Amino acid sequence: MVEAPSEPLRRGGAPYLSHVVGDAFRELTERKLLELVKSEPVPHHLAIIMDGNRRYAGAKGLGVTEGHAAGRDTLERLLDWCLELGIRVLTVYAFSTENMSRSSEEVEGLMDLFDHALRDIAVDERVHRHQIRVRIIGNRELLPARIREAVDIAEHATEMYSAYRYNVALAYGGRDEILQAIRALAREVQEGTLQPDQIDSEAVSRRLYTADLPDPDLVFRTSGEERISNFLLWQSAYSELYFSDVMWPGLNRTEFLRAIWAYQQRKRRYGN
């Protein structure tokens, strides 16, 4: 069995890891890596920035819509991987408020994918067998009527479940979410139902889309970009971050396990 070098892993994401302990990673088979990961506590809440669909498509000579479709297939596999490890809360960044400014053709293609995916998940055998509650977070008013209808179908079909939580961020922006919370607090102060000195971090958290969820333990981004791009800004204050060079559609189970294993080697300090 390859011994896991602990200290370097606590310092960086995928680029650092591959440079410092690349040989160790290469020697770890997927089976052995799975054994290592299952021997340690896994993140309770995993948040994923699914980046790289368009670049993947370009590298493969595919159209943009085909790249997004490949990304959808990866997300299907990711759900199985999370269930296998017992990760209870999964939040994925599917479509940001900034993505609205992309070409109408690309946006319409994405909406088609979301429409079908949401309606399919409402009848997905895995969802009902594992009792996964599905929820969409974001500014729904920005979404077309057919997508809002599909959202209602998926949420209604799973609203009774609580074993697992699967959250999809659509038309989501972290700053916009915080602004909406601030406006809600301001209205309550104006109405006299809340005093200014009662506003604390918990008061803000209770007015976010994720009010009933724990903050993410790990934020994992693909494509080599090392930023969180307006995703869960408030919630990820003390999250561990992991960045992978792999484009989202190219993510495989081994790279996913590497991210979880790297997280498990870190000592979380929460600012202390």
User: Is 51 among the residues known to form the active site?
Assistant: yes
94 vs 109: CA distance, rounded Å:
13
Active-site residue, from 53, 73, 80, 99? 99
Superfamily of domain 40-258: Decaprenyl diphosphate synthase-like (3.40.1180.10)
Asked if pLDDT for residue 18 goes beyond 70, the answer is no
Strand, coil or helix: what is 89? Answer: strand
pLDDT band, residue 28 (cuts 50/70/90): confident
User: Is 272 among the residues known to form the active site?
Assistant: no
- 64 or 28, higher pLDDT: 64
**Could you report the per-residue pLDDT of 176-190, keeping only the tens digit for each?**
999 999 999 999 999
User: Domain spans of the chain?
Assistant: 40-258
Do 149 and 157 contact (CB within 8 A), yes or no?
no
Task: List Cβ<8 Å contacts ≥24 apart for 34-41.
Answer: 34/257, 36/4, 36/261, 36/264, 37/85, 37/257, 37/260, 37/261, 37/264, 38/85, 40/261, 40/264, 41/264
Mean pLDDT, the chain, as a whole number?
91
264 vs 28: CA distance, rounded Å:
16
HSE, CB side, 13 Å, CA atoms: give it for residue 211: 10
Asked if pLDDT for residue 76 goes beyond 80, the answer is yes
Query: What's the mean pLDDT in 59-82?
Result: 97
Active-site residue, from 51, 124, 215, 217? 51
Which neighbouring-strand residues pair with 46?
A: 90, 218
Q: Which amino acid type is present at position 150?
A: A
pTM of the model: 0.89
Q: Which two tokens stand for residue 60?
A: 């493969």
Asked if pLDDT for residue 10 goes beyond 70, the answer is no
